[in-house]
Amino acid sequence: MGRVGELEAGIGFYWEGMRDTDLFQLALGLSSPWTVTRSEFDAHDGRLDLYVDFPRGSRFACAQCGREGCAVHDTNDETWRHLDFFQHRTLLHARVPRVTCPECGVRKVATPWARAGSGFTLLFEAIVLTLAKAMPIANAAKLLGEHDTRLWRIVGHYVWQAVGAMDLSEVRRIAADETSARRGHDYISLFIDMARRKVVYVAEGKDAATVKEFADFLEAHGGQREAVSDASIDMGAAFEAGIKENFPNAEITFDKFHVIKLANEAVDDVRRQEAKNNFQIKGRRYIFLKNVDHLTPEEKEALSRLEAQNLDTIQAMQIRMNLQQLFTMSVPSARRFLDRWNTWVQVCDLGPMKKLAKTIMAKSDGILRSIATGLSNGVLEAINGNVQAAKRKAKGYRSKRTLKAIVYLIAGDVLANSPT
């Protein structure tokens, strides 16, 4: 707020002739014909009331067509909550005129400190959005002493306005992933513009239809589906089918995160089968899924004891660790490496690992492309983590629409359009 400097400079020169209302006038950034005419401080209730008014005979612009100099028709008293002055709840009061516009008829004027229909000033709304990015709405509501549905209305207004105004004409490389919306079974899909590293679309569900929805949204926002050259996705059939169908020029990339995730799932399948007959590996799931460098000394010791035995799970783990080396290689060596790795896995006796290798080989072009392009869903993994953390802190969201709004708020670009 550049105003603080102005205000301080003003105090130095004009303090003696200045009334408290002039100070509030400066702090609120009001301009003619609006002036602060009166302030009332109630020490008992800790409340500050500021009265804003305009001189008789003032003229205003029509809020609909912008025509200047329209005469006042009548006024209506309104109140807005403003930022607290220190710990004191602050309310702004004004009689808001309706003007007679020769073009539009009788229209309410726009107030410079608040948008139409909001009971809050723009500065207050800006604080709400900032808090909503950092904490659950319920906590922000408690902090501000407001009901959370009023805050949701503010968040919803700015988020959906920003989503509606999104410009996607530059989108070339995308990534998509799903994240759980509620416990277990319910999903939303996130679409990312890799250049911006921001979520540009959130769809309900995780099937191929979400990709079509995104393609339609892209084109409604200045983008072109033919212009999309790369799509980084998981190895599930749904996104792949959706991309092939809706983005004819997109090369598909299967990134490292998803390859490792799939390999971990295969290792876990082997472990679960083996745990039925081997009590030593029961409850030791994490040892086999973590990277060896991330294990504690106690875990490392347990692992080396297990390694001494001829365990299927240990063999599966070695297969996974070996596969991980793929992502440190150049494309030609990675291709040769993958063939050797596959030959090795196919002679082992582990069903889930053989199945893994089959999938990896079938998708090898997309996997090797991720090595060539360096495209990775890493940014999405981080966003997923933030979304899930926000969800946990909020103890879930009442509806998918509110969850979507929060995703746009914390992982999209919407604060660029915030009120101040």
Q: In the complex, which residues of this chain contact Zn ion (CB under 5 A)?
A: 62, 64-65, 67, 101, 103-104
Q: Please state whether the peptide bond connecting residue 97 to the residue before it is cis, i.e. omega within 30 degrees of 0.
A: no
Checking DSSP bridges between strand 187-193 and strand 198-204, what pairing results, if any? antiparallel
**Closer to Zn ion at the Cβ: 101 or 316?**
101
**Closer to Zn ion at the Cβ: 109 or 215?**
109
Give the residue from 11, 10, 96 showing the smallest Cα distance to 52.
96
CB of 103 to Zn ion, least distance (A): 4
**Closer to Zn ion at the Cβ: 62 or 128?**
62
CB of 65 to Zn ion, least distance (A): 3
CB of 108 to Zn ion, least distance (A): 11
129-166 b/e (C-beta count within 10 Å ≥ 16 → b): bebbbebbbeebbeebebebebbbebbebbbeebbeeb
**Closer to Zn ion at the Cβ: 64 or 343?**
64
| C-alpha–C-alpha distance, residues 245 and 202, integer Å | 19
**Closer to Zn ion at the Cβ: 64 or 249?**
64
Helix (H, G, I), strand (E, B) or coil at 152: helix
| C-alpha–C-alpha distance, residues 354 and 367, integer Å | 18
CB of 73 to Zn ion, least distance (A): 12
Contact in structure between 383 and 199 (CB atoms under 8 Å): yes
Distance of CA 25 to the CA centre of its chain: 36
**Closer to Zn ion at the Cβ: 98 or 258?**
98
CB of 35 to Zn ion, least distance (A): 25
Question: Which position has the token pair 């063939």?
Answer: 339
411: left (phi over 0), alpha (psi -120 to 50) or beta: alpha
CB of 250 to Zn ion, least distance (A): 47
**Helices vs strands, H then E, count in the chain:** 16, 11
Contact in structure between 274 and 266 (CB atoms under 8 Å): no
**Closer to Zn ion at the Cβ: 105 or 351?**
105
**Closer to Zn ion at the Cβ: 101 or 259?**
101
**Closer to Zn ion at the Cβ: 65 or 71?**
65
Checking DSSP bridges between strand 35-42 and strand 59-60, what pairing results, if any? unpaired
| C-alpha–C-alpha distance, residues 65 and 118, integer Å | 21
| C-alpha–C-alpha distance, residues 95 and 396, integer Å | 41
CB of 68 to Zn ion, least distance (A): 10
CB of 97 to Zn ion, least distance (A): 14
CB of 62 to Zn ion, least distance (A): 3
What type of residue is 170? E
| C-alpha–C-alpha distance, residues 248 and 255, integer Å | 20
